[in-house]
Amino acid sequence: MTIRNHKGRYVSLKAMNDRVTELKRAGFTVSYAWREDAKQFGYLSSSNVRGEYGMFGRSLTVTGEASEHYGEPYVSFDGVAIDRDSCGQADTVVRSNYAAIRRDYPQFPWVDTSYLNCNALGCFVADMDDDTAGMLIGLAESYPVYDESAMSDLEHEEIDESWAGYMRGEVRHELPEVTCTTIWDYLGEDTVTELWWTCVSANVFGNYPEHRGTEVVWGDVAERARDFRPYLCAAYWAKRTGQDGEDSAPMYVWVDRLARRQRDRAEIERLYRAWMADETILHHDGSWRDYLNSRGWVITATGARRKGAEDK
């Protein structure tokens, strides 16, 4: 049976067979489906698609030729482009691919495959041209990300949502002292949120947050709360003493200064533990200063600082 594409033009059997072969080779699932079902519902559910394999193994072979019983060849790109997944199993690669491809090919007749938890990008094979076929096959065989900036934007969006969605409540729960909750309420949610993201920018929490494709990871919540506590108190003090006005230093400036002091303190403590454990170092006056100096630190009147760094 000959097949017409969405423009009403006939597609040769050879072209169809070649396309089906290259799609299968790329790992895509090619099945049979009816265009009438897609027009009626706007998508194809898994029950409307007849695949090659059934419960007991291979039941039919999909070729480029239409079937009078099952329809015409249809391909699902569930390995490279999936919409939001209610089960949280689709990573940012496939989700950003789905949105960006639909953005860049708005006139193409995509027909999603609808599963219980998500929709996968799909189309009838006859509607594909060399451009769309090459782009999608390239995602499967060469490089899986269609648009790096779209994926990065999606990750940043979900990192932002993670604070409002659950991390804010978790951090507050880890600061149960009356003083901290009073400070939190005094500053207000907007200021606390601004302070949190300023701390993230100043690398207060190390390499966190981390987006792992399907989830945003903040590490140990108790540690994040412990690291956040001095900044919360500092913001409270600045507000109570009137140091947060228009003429004062912006939040990101003093947070960065405090963050560097905190990191320096933690590094010096680590070095001290290492020095105490080093039996080859004689414990005498000046040995600690020499030990710090050998590792790039200088003792000044205002405390320890890295060699070459400004004395803040």
Residues 140 and 22: beta-carbon distance below 8 Å: no
Res 1: pLDDT: 64
> At CB < 8 A and 24+ separation, what contacts does 128-137 make?
128/19, 128/75, 132/105, 132/108, 133/19, 133/22, 133/23, 135/101, 136/26, 136/28, 136/77, 136/80, 136/81, 137/22, 137/23, 137/26
Q: Is 188 left (phi over 0), alpha (psi -120 to 50) or beta?
A: left
Res 246: pLDDT: 52
Res 285: pLDDT: 58
Res 292: pLDDT: 82
Question: Which residues, other chains included, contact 269 with Cβ-Cβ below 8 Å and sequence gap of 6+?
Answer: none
How far is Cα 124 from Cα 38, in angstroms, rounded to an integer?
10
Res 283: pLDDT: 55
Res 309: pLDDT: 66
- Decide: pTM greater than 0.85: no
Res 76: pLDDT: 96
Res 291: pLDDT: 81
Question: Which residues, other chains included, contact 193 with Cβ-Cβ below 8 Å and sequence gap of 6+?
Answer: 163, 164, 168
How far is Cα 168 from Cα 183, in angstroms, rounded to an integer?
14
Residues 208 and 224: beta-carbon distance below 8 Å: yes
Angle at 221 (CA atoms; ends 219, 224), nearest 5 degrees? 85
Output the CA–CA distances (angstroms, integers) from residue 25 to 30, 61, 143, 182, in the order listed.
10, 14, 16, 62
Block means of pLDDT (10 residues each) for the chain, 312 residues, are 87 96 96 95 91 75 94 96 91 97 97 93 97 97 97 96 96 88 93 95 91 95 94 88 65 85 80 72 67 82 70 46
